[in-house]
Every structure is written in structure tokens, then in C-alpha cells.
Amino acid sequence: MSVDLTLTEAAPPRSASTLQLQFRRFRSNRLAMLSVGLLALIVLACFFGPYAFPFTGEDADFDFISAPMDLWSPHPFGTDEYGRDLLVRVLEGGQVSLTIGFLGALVAGVIGVLYGAVAGYAGGRADGLMMRLVEILYGFPYVILVILLSLLFGGGNLALFAAIVFTLWLTPAVIVRAQAQSLARREFVEAARAGGMTGWQIVVEHIVPNCISVVIVYGSLLVPEVILSESFLSFLGIGIKEPQASWGNLIASGTSAMDSDLRLLLLPGTLLALVLLCLNFIADGLRDAFDPNDR
Amino acid sequence: MTLLEARNLGVGYKIPGPGLFSASRMLPIVHDLSLSLEAGRTLGVVGESGCGKSTLGRALLRLIPPSAGQVLWQGEDMTLIPDLRRRRAEMQIIFQDPVAALDPRMTLARIVSRPLSTFEPNLSRVQVRARAVDALQQVGLSADFADRFPHELSGGQAQRVGIARAIIGRPKLIICDEPVSALDVSIQAQVINLLMELQEKMGLALVFISHNLAVVRHISHEVMVMCLGRVVEQAPRDAFYARPLHPYSQALMDAVPEPNPKRERGRVGTALAGELPSVLNPPRGCVFASRCPKATDLCRQTRPELREVAPGRQAACHFIET
Ligand SMILES: Nc1ncnc2c1ncn2[C@@H]1O[C@H](COP(=O)(O)OP(=O)(O)O)[C@@H](O)[C@H]1O
Ligand code: SF4
Ligand SMILES: [Mg+2]
């Protein structure tokens, strides 16, 4: 029984981590990278563009009521029937819609991921109860939920935000739970328990990071969903209220003036469509780069 | 003092009932198992796959709770050890699938040193890093492995990392759950020798689970043979390999394929003739009765108790010839 360990193995040449490889793959996707660029441009325009104008989207200019599009006038895309600058309003509305979109996706994502990871890791009866609750909430009619939450929060943006988060955390929870279940059976989780980690530490340090691929992919799909959801509710008049602008309520008022002036619908509509398109291409690119099935 | 002792240990898995609130059933796997292990010694546990070896290994560390009996750690009932989690540095485990045992998202330094943040929370970052590098070097991996990821490793290297993680908290016991079964034959000897070297250096006790009789012979002081969740024979290594007494042990020995350098030697397949009873429907009498060449009606009706059949040797069979 000779013990031969005089030879210490040297490491093979460096290679990248899986995460690095995945991002590299994403960066080589032209359409997705183009979308990232365009989206960044739109975001920057929404948040900094309005400063280029001497007025805000809520200031009425009585010399220009329902002014048409004229790129050389003070109101390049014209004004609405109150004399408010359409471009500035659309950009400011973008701030609201994008903020709700990204923040809502983030909050819904974090809640859903943690909930799903805990349920999947815990398994057994706790998992059964937690998932039954998700099923019940899935069955809850959306509009009724929004109305209930509006009553609860006294209407306003917070109620809208809560309603959006409340419905959208369910799907990430279900997706992550399935992934967490299979991870919980892996031996590194057993090793973690043997290493004295608590259940919560295992969820946060092992389960969630290993769900990162699905989370990134799903999260990128969640953003357009939240934006659409906000627009839909604002369109119905439950969401963001005048005079504050959002793409949803701008499109709503644009639609009602559609017959006389298509301009009011086209500008916010085009921007919303562009953002949704970009987000979908980005989500596609992320899925191609991150999908664990073809690693 | 005895390091690890199991007394009439029973282990099972909870199977959820059909509905959300219906009572769950217990699926018993390991039955009435007793063993004891002294510091620095190796107990080899042999048995066909599915007989409950991994279940036993996990129950010995209380990674799954026992359904009957007790496990004593240095004389203390493990269920009564306060804050057992922080004492786990003393009792570690390595696994059959060495790559699955490493979190793919972590660097090796992080994997190896993570237990230290529980066991020795007062160490500085620099100290933790130094310990990780030291542990890697002890298993024969150079320091430049520290920032690599598991997918860059071969199976043998991954198992070394698993061993490094196990020894970083300076344990007294390592449960080795088929640590070389998934490795190339050429690598197996390296890992076995590494374990033996560490055992000598650190005074480790090992529970070495395997279905490979040749490997168990190489590393063990004592051998325990399991069949369907029960111990059927236990003996000192040399006595056991000189002449196994239980018909099941004899069948395992006979099932060892002829020496063939191309094939892995000493592997116990499920190649034993006859039908393996299911854990769901265990036999009333002897666990080996359905496949034993010597089986009689007595064997099928009454389960033989594990009894002393020679000095230091135990077997569970009605017809032991000594
Ligand atoms: N988590 C589990 N839940 C239910 N049954 C299990 C579980 N793990 C293992 N088993 C069952 O327990 C039996 C013994 O498994 P195991 O201890 O892994 O055997 P071995 O390691 O000897 O191959 C098998 O029949 C297996 O199906
Ligand atoms: S008790 Fe009977 S069936 Fe069991 S091993 Fe002995 S002879 Fe075979
Ligand atoms: Mg096993």
C-alpha cells in the first residue's frame, strides 16, 4: 500500500465560469445587443430628455392648443387639447411606465424567487401548502383584486403597484419551485447541510444562485408584462391618473381622439411597442444564452 | 471512547399521503442496525445497490432523522447534542457523484472554505483563503485550482475537492459514500490512497460504503455486509476475506468477476441470481431467503437474529457452519 502523493496536480489552463460563458454568448447575439442599445436610448431619453425643454408635461401652453406636429416649433410633436407638449408628456409617461415595469418586475421577481425556492427546498407538507396558496391566488380574478387593493391602499400608484406585484410573483414562484425541487436533491445541498448551513442559508447561497438562469430569462419576460399590465390598468382608468402621464393613459386618451388626430396615439404607442419589442428580443437572447437545457 | 455508535438504528423515508392533509407513511429502509467505530479505524459497509447503504450513512450523521434507535457521537445521543450544526465539523461526508457534490456556481476556494464560516466564524478572509488553499494542497491540488469552477475538473479532481471540503474543519470521522464508484479504475486507487494517507495523518475514522469488495478489502479494518437494510454479517477484515460465513456474503464473493484488467475488479453487481425482494414488501423471514441456495421453510418463516458465530464475528443465518 504505497501512498503516492508527491505529485501535486497543477490546474488546467484557465477557462471561464458558466456565467461568464453565458454572458459572452449573449453578447454575440446581434439582435439582442441592438435591442439593449435601443432600450438604453429610450430609457435615457425618458429620464433626461424632458430637461431639454423649458416646460414640463403638465404646463399648458395656451398659444398652442392641439398644435399639430411641426419639428421646428417649440413643440416638435405638437400639443394635446390642453396645450401640453406631447413629446414631453410621452417622455415623462415613459418614466412612470418604465419605473413601474422594472421595479415591479424586480419586486415580483424577488418575492416569487424566494417563495418558490423555499417551497421547493422545504418540500413535503410546507411545499404542498405554499403551492396550494399560489393556485388559489392564480384563480383570483385580476380586476376584482385590483379594485380590492385600490380600496385597501386608497387608490393611487401604490395600489396599482401592489396589484401588479401581487399577480405577477406567482409565475416566477412556480418556475423556481420546480427548479429548486430538483436542486434540493443534488448532493451539494446534502454537503451544505453536512457543512452546518441552515435551511435559509442553503436557499440563499445555493438554491437561488443556481436558479439564476431561469430567473434572468423569466425576469426579462416579466418587465414587458408589468409594463403592459400598467398600461392596461391605466387604459381602463384604474391605474395612473391624469394629470400624471403614463404610456397607458396617454394611449387611452390617444385612442379616444383617434378619429381626429392619430398623432396622440402614435407617439406613445410606438414607444411602448418599441420597448416591448426590445425586451422580447433581449429575453430571447437571454434564453438562448442561459437556457440550462442546452448548456 | 467509542467515536460513533449506532444502537438498534431504524431509518425510513416519509412518503407523503395522496392528499395534502392525509397522513404520510413511513417507508422503512434500515432496520435494527447496531455498529460501533473507534477513532482512526475504518468500517467497510458492503451491499448491493438499493440495500440502504447511503441511507445508513446519512442517518449516522443525522442528515436524516432516525425512526428508531439512537446514534451516539462520542457517547452523546446525537438528538440531544445542542446546536449539532456547529459540531458538524467533526463529522463529514463525501459522495458517490463527485461533480454533483460541488455547487457549479462557486469557485473551489469558496466550496472548500464555506464550512469554516459556520465552524470557525472568527477567521479573517485571509485566514479562510489560506485554509482553503492548504486543504486543496493536502488533497494534492495546487493553489491555482482555488479560483476554478467545478466544470473545469475531472471526476477524480472533483472528488479530491470534496475531500478537501470534508477535512477543512479537521474532522474525526468521514462517511465515504461510494467515493470511487463513479471514477475511472485508474483514478480509484489514487483517491483510496489519499483517504488512507489522510486517515493516518489526521487520525480519521472512516465509514467506507461501497459495493466493491476489492476496494473495501484494501481500506477497511472491519467489514459489515448489508442486505435489504439489515446487517447479515460483520467481521474483522482478514477473517472475513479468508472465509465469509453468511451465504449472502459468499454469494457476493462469488459474484466478483474473474480478474480482468480491462474490467473493474471486485464489483458487486445485482448479478446475484434470483429476485431481489422489494423494500415495499420485505420478506417475513430471512432477507436472503428468496435467493439463498440453502434456504428452507424455516428461513422463509422466521428471521434469523444477528448473533455471535465466532469470536468477534457476527452473522444472521440459521445455518452458519463455523
Ligand atoms: N429520499 C428518498 N425517499 C424515498 N425513498 C428513498 C429515498 N432515498 C432512497 N430511497 C430508497 O431507499 C432505498 C435505499 O436507498 P439507498 O440508501 O440510496 O441505497 P444504496 O445506497 O445502498 O444504493 C432504495 O430503495 C431507495 O429507493
Ligand atoms: S437464514 Fe436461510 S435463507 Fe437466510 S441466509 Fe441462512 S440459509 Fe440462507
Ligand atoms: Mg448509495
Query: Any idea where the domains of chain A sit in the sequence?
Result: 90-294
Give the model's pLDDT for residue B156. 94
CA torsion B55→B56→B60→B64, rounded to 10°? 30
Q: What is d(CA A167, CA B308) in angstroms, rounded to the nearest whole number?
A: 66
Looking only at the bridges linking them, the beta strands covering B222-227 and B42-46 are: parallel
Q: Which of residues 14-43 of A touch B (CB under 8 A)?
A: 14-15, 17-19
| Residue A97: band (very low, low, confident or very high) from pLDDT cuts 50, 70, 90 | confident
- Among A113-122, A273-282, B7-16, B66-75, the range scoring the smallest mean pLDDT is A273-282
CA distance linking residue B52 with residue B64, whole number of Å: 13
Eight-class DSSP state of B306: P
Residue A187 reports pLDDT greater than 60 = yes
Residue of B nearest to A195 (CA): B115
Domain count for chain B: 1
- Span from the CA of A2 to the centroid of ligand 1 (angstroms): 35
Nearest to B85 among A19, A188, A198 (CB): A198
- Those residues whose C-beta lies under 8 Å from the C-beta of residue A144, and which sit 6 or more positions away, are none
pLDDT at A52: 72
pLDDT digits (tens, 9 = 90+) for B21-77: 777 788 999 999 999 999 999 999 999 988 999 999 999 999 999 999 999 999 999
Kindly state the average pLDDT of the residues A116-135: 92
User: Is the model more confident about A185 or about A248?
Assistant: A185
**A197 vs B107, B118, B152: nearest CB:** B118
Shortest distance, CA A8 to any CA of chain B (angstroms) = 4
Q: Would you say residue A74 has pLDDT above 70?
A: no
What ipTM does this complex have? 0.89
Summarize the confidence of residues A206-211 as an average pLDDT.
90
Q: Does a structural domain hold residue B301?
A: yes
Q: What is the chain B residue with the closest CA to A129?
A: B20
Determine the residue of chain A that is closest to B61 in CA distance.
A194
Residue B318's domain comprises 233-322
Q: What is the pLDDT of residue B174?
A: 97
- In this structure, is residue B171 part of a structural domain? no
Tell me how far apart the alpha carbons of residues B52 and B47 are, in angstroms, rounded to a whole number. 8
Q: Of A27-41, A48-62, A279-293, B275-289, where does mean pLDDT reach its minimum?
A: A48-62
- For chain A, the maximum distance between any two Cα atoms, rounded to a whole number of angstroms, is 99
Query: How confident is the model at residue A277, as a pLDDT?
Result: 87
Digit-coded pLDDT (tens) for B270-305: 446 666 777 777 888 999 998 898 899 999 999 999
Question: Which ligand is in closest contact with the Cα of B181?
Answer: 3
Give the model's pLDDT for residue B22.
74
Confidence of residue A294 (pLDDT cuts 50, 70, 90): very low
Can you give the pLDDT at residue A3?
43
B76 is a domain residue: no
Q: Are A61 and A84 in contact (CB under 8 A)?
A: yes
For residue B99, is pLDDT > 90? yes
* Residues 6+ away with beta carbon under 8 Å from A266: A254
The average confidence (pLDDT) of chain A is 80
For B139-196, write each residue's pLDDT tens digit: 999 999 998 889 889 999 999 999 999 999 999 999 999 999 999 988 999 999 999 9
| pLDDT score for B282 | 80
pLDDT band at A163 (very low <50, low <70, confident <90, very high): confident
Report whether pLDDT(B126) > 60.
yes
pLDDT of residue A258: 65
Q: Which atom of ligand 2 lies at the shortest distance from residue B286's CA?
A: 4
**B292 CB under 6 A from ligand 2?**
yes
Interval B255-262 mean pLDDT: 54
How far is residue A24's CA from residue B226's CA, in Å, rounded to a whole number? 50
pLDDT digits (tens, 9 = 90+) for B214-252: 999 999 999 999 999 999 999 999 999 999 999 999 999
User: So what's the pLDDT on residue A76?
Assistant: 67
CATH topology of domain A90-294: MetI-like fold (1.10.3720)
| Domain presence at residue B68 | no
Does the Cβ of B294 fall within 6 Å of ligand 2? Answer: yes
Residue B226: strand pairing partners:
B231
**pLDDT of the residue at A2:** 42
Residues A211-221: tens digit of each pLDDT: 877 787 777 77
Pairing mode, if any, of strands B91-94 and B173-177? parallel
Res A1 pLDDT > 70: no
Residue B144 lies in a domain: no
- For residue B154, the distance in angstroms to the closest alpha carbon of chain A comes to 10
Who has greater pLDDT, B32 or A245? B32
Asked if residue B270 belongs to a domain, the reply is yes
Domain-embedded: residue B318? yes
Q: Are A152 and B44 in contact (CB under 8 A)?
A: no
